[in-house]
Amino acid sequence: MSHTLKNKRALITGGSRGIGAAIVKRLAREGADVAFTYSSSPDRANETLKAAQALGVEAIAIQADSADASAVVAAVERTVKELGGIDILVNSAGVLALGLIDDFKLADFDRTVAVNVRAVFVAAQAAVKHMKEGGRIINIGSCNAERIPFPGGAVYAMSKSALQGLVQGLARDLGGRGITINNVQPGPIDTEMNPDKSEFAEMLKKQFLALPRFGTAEEVAGMVAYLAGPEAGYVTGASLTIDGGFNA
C-alpha cells in the first residue's frame, strides 16, 4: 500500500455500493480517513464501513439523501467535525431515469437534476469553506455527457453534461486557492445496476466498445485516487473519460 493519501480526510457521496463503495475502499487503502453517505440499504453501508475500517483508517457512514440540499450540507459538516477537516470531496451519488420525452415525468426530471447536478454544487460549496490549499473535488460524471447513442437518455445525458461546465467554471473560482476540481466519466461499468452479463451488455460490447468488456468499479476508483493524490496537482477543470473506447 502506497498511502499517498495519509493524513487526508475524504467525503464520498453515494458510497455504500458500486462505484462509490470502490472509491471509499480505494481512498482508505491509500491512507485517507473516509466518510461516505448513503440514502438507503444500511446493511450495504455497514459492509463498506467495516471494509474501510479494516484498512486501519477512521471511517464513518452518514445517511443522507442527495436530493435534500440540507442533508448534503449536514454531511459535509459532520465529516469536518468527526474527521477534523475535509481535503477530498468525491461526488459519486447519482440517479438514472430513462424515458422518451413524451412520457418522461417531471418528478423524475427534478430528482435527476437535484441529485446529479444540484447536490454536486451544494456539496462543493459547503466543502470549500473548509478546504485548504491542495484540496480536491472529484465528480463522477458519465461518458453519456458526450455521447448518448440510444433513445430515452436525454435527461440523464443533460445532467452529466452540466458537470462539464460546472467544473470548468469552478476550476477558475478555486484555482487561486490551490483547490482542483475534475470529473471522472465512466462508460459501461460492471455493477449491480448495470451487470456485464445481460443482452444489453452484450450489445454494448459488440457495437460500441473498443475494448469488448465492461470496466470495473475498481478501475474507476483508481482514476479517482490519482486525481485525489499529489501527482494530479496540475489537473483541474478536466473531464477524464474511462469508458473502454465507448466515445472513441
Active site residues: 156
The x, y and z cell numbers of residue 60, run together, are 464513518
Contact 225, 235 (CB under 8 A): no
> Which alpha helices (DSSP H) does the chain contain, by range?
18-29, 42-53, 69-83, 106-113, 119-128, 154-175, 199-207, 217-228
Q: Which residues contact 119 (CB under 8 A, 6 or more apart)?
A: 13, 66, 67, 69, 72, 91, 93
Q: Which residues contact 31 (CB under 8 A, 6 or more apart)?
A: 1, 3, 4, 5, 6, 7, 8, 57
